[in-house]
């Protein structure tokens, strides 16, 4: 049997306390070994930095290995370099919704690189192990993707694979009405960049997003904890099936399982809307927070993690 490596990443850490508590609980329990953290919360990202330091401390105390990464964003919160530098990407309140991200010109690319470097600088001195982008917005257009590749080159870091299982991109493009470049084109841009600079931008073989629990509308009627647990049982069986199929693959793979989790406490949709308003950080929709609850219960009840057996092993973002 060939060895199959697994990375379990929790996205969106570093802004909302409720999300962060869920991530910290999962880290302490050894349910995840990777976290993608925002770097643009608080004055010049100071609160993001503080939360990242807390995460690393708790991971160290838990004895579980953790790979901290930066969740680069142009679709949530506000830019660290000021809104005036992002006429095409910002409103007066901050970054635009990801559905409105458009291609940028060369000057826009230079400004975007300044912003991404500013987000990287927030975590300067911390052990950053990987790069991801919120809403995958840095993979929509050529110049955005080139910025991501240049950043990966400059900091010698791997990136998230833009090939999803199950396939999501065409569906999202249809829903959002956008004109994103194709996966094939992304492959071509990456290959040309690697050839030009004589390097390899590493990434996992595939990104599993079947764990992602979209809007379940569990809050609209009388919402009970049992409803979440029952739905989470369904999601857990799906995850178990995927892991079983992964273990049977004839070729070695490194798979990233992406999760979006939150502290396992039931609240109303009204509570979560007020929560988002309180933090004044747009781009993380409260409409999906019931789905985060499902993902949290699914992950915490999944006995195969962290006790991987057989040919299933914990993976690292970059080998060697």
pLDDT in tens, 276-292: 888 889 899 887 888 88
Other CB atoms within 10 Å distance of the CB of residue 269: 16
Give the pLDDT score at 238: 86
pLDDT along the chain (320 residues), means of 10: 90 96 96 97 95 97 94 94 73 70 82 95 98 94 95 98 76 55 92 97 92 55 62 84 88 92 82 84 85 88 77 88
Q: At residue 6, what are phi and psi to the nearest 5 degrees?
A: -125, 135
Cis previous bond, 306, omega within 30:
yes
Question: Strand pairing of 67-72 and 34-37?
Answer: parallel
**Radius of gyration, alpha carbons of the chain:** 19
The structural domains of the chain, with segments of one domain joined by +, span 4-314
Instruction: Please state, in angstroms and rounded to a whole number, the distance separating the CA atoms of residues 57 and 63.
Output: 10
Can you give the pLDDT at residue 228?
Answer: 72
Predicted confidence at residue 220, as pLDDT, reads 43
Give the DSSP H or E segment for 95.
strand 94-95
pLDDT at residue 1, rounded to an integer: 67
* Contact assessment for residue 42 and residue 14, using Cβ atoms and an 8 Å cutoff: no
Give the residues across from 107 on adjacent strands. Answer: none
pLDDT at residue number 6: 94
C-alpha angle 3-59-205 in degrees, rounded to nearest 5: 30
Task: Specify the CATH architecture of the domain 4-314.
Answer: Alpha-Beta Barrel (3.20)
Distance CA 289, CA 267 (A): 9
CA-to-CA separations, 13 to 34, 69, 119, 217, 261, in angstroms, rounded:
11, 10, 14, 23, 9
Q: What's the pTM value of the predicted model, to 2 decimals?
A: 0.91
60-97 residue pLDDT tens = 999 999 999 999 999 999 999 987 667 667 765 678 77
């Amino acid at each position: 049997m060939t060895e199959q490596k697994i990375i379990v990443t929790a996205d969106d850490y570093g802004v909302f306390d409720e999300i962060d508590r869920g991530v910290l609980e999962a880290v302490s329990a050894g349910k995840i070994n990777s976290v993608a953290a925002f770097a643009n919360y608080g004055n010049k990202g100071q609160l993001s930095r503080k939360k990242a330091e807390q995460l690393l401390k708790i991971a160290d105390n838990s004895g579980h290995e953790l790979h901290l990464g930066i969740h680069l964003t142009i679709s949530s919160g506000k830019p660290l370099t000021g809104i005036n530098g992002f006429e095409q990407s910002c409103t007066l309140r901050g970054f635009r919704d990801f559905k409105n991200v458009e291609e940028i010109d060369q000057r826009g690319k230079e400004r975007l690189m300044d912003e991404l470097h500013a987000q990287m600088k927030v975590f300067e001195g911390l052990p950053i192990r990987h790069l991801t982008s919120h809403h995958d917005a840095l993979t929509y257009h050529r110049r955005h993707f080139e910025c991501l590749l240049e950043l990966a080159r400059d900091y010698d870091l791997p990136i998230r694979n833009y090939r999803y299982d199950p396939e999501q991109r065409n569906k999202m493009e249809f829903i959002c009405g956008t004109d994103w470049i194709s996966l094939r084109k992304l492959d071509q841009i990456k290959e040309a960049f690697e050839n030009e600079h004589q390097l390899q931008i590493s990434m996992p073989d595939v990104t599993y997003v079947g764990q992602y629990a979209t809007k379940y509308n569990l809050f609209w009627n009388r919402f009970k904890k049992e409803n979440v647990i029952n739905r989470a049982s369904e999601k857990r069986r799906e995850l178990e099936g995927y892991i079983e199929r992964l273990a049977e693959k004839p070729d070695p793979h490194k798979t990233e399982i992406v999760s979006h989790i939150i502290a396992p406490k039931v609240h109303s949709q009204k509570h979560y809307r007020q929560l988002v308003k309180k933090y004044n950080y747009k781009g993380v929709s409260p409409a999906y927070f019931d789905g985060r609850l499902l993902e949290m219960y699914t992950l915490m009840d999944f006995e195969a993690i962290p006790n991987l057996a057989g040919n299933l092993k914990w993976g690292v973002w970059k080998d060697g």
